Chains A and B, each alone.
Chain A
Amino acid sequence: MTPVELFSEPFMQRALLAALFTGLAAPVIGTYLVQRRLALMGDGLGHVAVTGVAVGLLTGYSPTWTAVVVAILGAIAIEVVRERGNTNGDVALALLFYGGLAGGVLLTGLGGRRAAELQQYLFGSITTISDGDVVVTLVLAALVVVVGVGLSPQLFAVAQDPEFARVAGLRVRFYNLVVAVLAAVTVTVAMRTVGLLLVSALMVVPVATSQQLTRSFRATLVAAMVLGTLASVGGLVISAFASYQATVAPGPTIVLLSLAGFVVTWPVGVWLRHRARLRRPFADEAPDEHTVSDHDHDHGPGCGHVAVPHDDHVDYVHDGHRHAPHGTHYDEH
């Protein structure tokens, strides 16, 4: 089969659509989770959703829907534990996570299903996605994007400073629940793409990557959505081409591509932050003393020295001190 034929296959087009929407939606909610320092919540919900899938396999209902329901229940439970401000909150979360995974595997066995069937939910199987599943994925992903972006001023304020948000009249508990429920929905949306065990990566890694380069929340959110989409669609395409040579699963490829993006961006982020610190304007007032030393060139744009705005003039940093132009020479301060 040539690549052209491969990409015109209906199963591949369904997979591309699902990857596109998942990659767009997952980082939206990931941004809010990272902002709340709950980066692993997606992972926890993924584990809880395993039980949901198993319930579906056992009862004959669609595993997608049972996973949504169980993940939402798990998300609400996590939110309740969090709101109590319990110091053992993370331990309680851990119990929920492992309970979810173990329960899922146990239930699958009880139902006489083979582990392989659960496997496609654990690690994704985007190429076997059905028409119905694509529609569900698109609708849920669109819901996550619309709510997550539309309510961004409120969700940002609530996560940034819950007490201030409450005094500003925002219903903090409601917005926290919205984020928890959207996280649960995202997990089940991404379940078919990258699998429940890797879902958190698609939510969190694009955010970690984009915040290397951004200074504002909005920019982080938008860049994470772009990066998530690139990784998701790119990973699928790479695995499709690679499958001519060997068995390459799309889920892990997507996650590894996303991680590769982070690895490439991280040094850039370190350099940008370093540069920002160097070029931060000096806050103290310019001293009046007049100390002069020799300079072998006139400082100016592109002279190779870091230029820093300082009050009414520009300092050039060199050999551990600042040169300020003064008439025909440079003062040191």
Chain B
Amino acid sequence: MHELSIITNLFELLEEKAVEQKANKIVHVKLQVGLLSGAVPDLLKTSFDIYKKDTMAAEAVLEIEEVPLKYQCQDCKTEMVKDDYIILCEKCGSTNLKAVAGTDMFLLKMDIEI
């Protein structure tokens, strides 16, 4: 359950941006969460709702866009979406694949009131 520590980082980012923008309130937060990010979207939402109390985001809604795991074959350059995590190019059989999406988590955007 490391989602709470990820949400702690999220709030550091949110507060930094809110101060920059002179915001009074954060009303909406959108994240992108990769299939292989290591975090569970539902647990992120629960952690967000616990953490947001008594912050500028107390009434904010967290939206999560789940990002599929995408690899690019380094030999034939084909891109492919995978849900079985298997490193094998569907086209040329190479195992020289690089993850190009779905391994990280991003704060994409936030809606504020000034």
Verify that A and B bind, or say they do not.
Answer: no
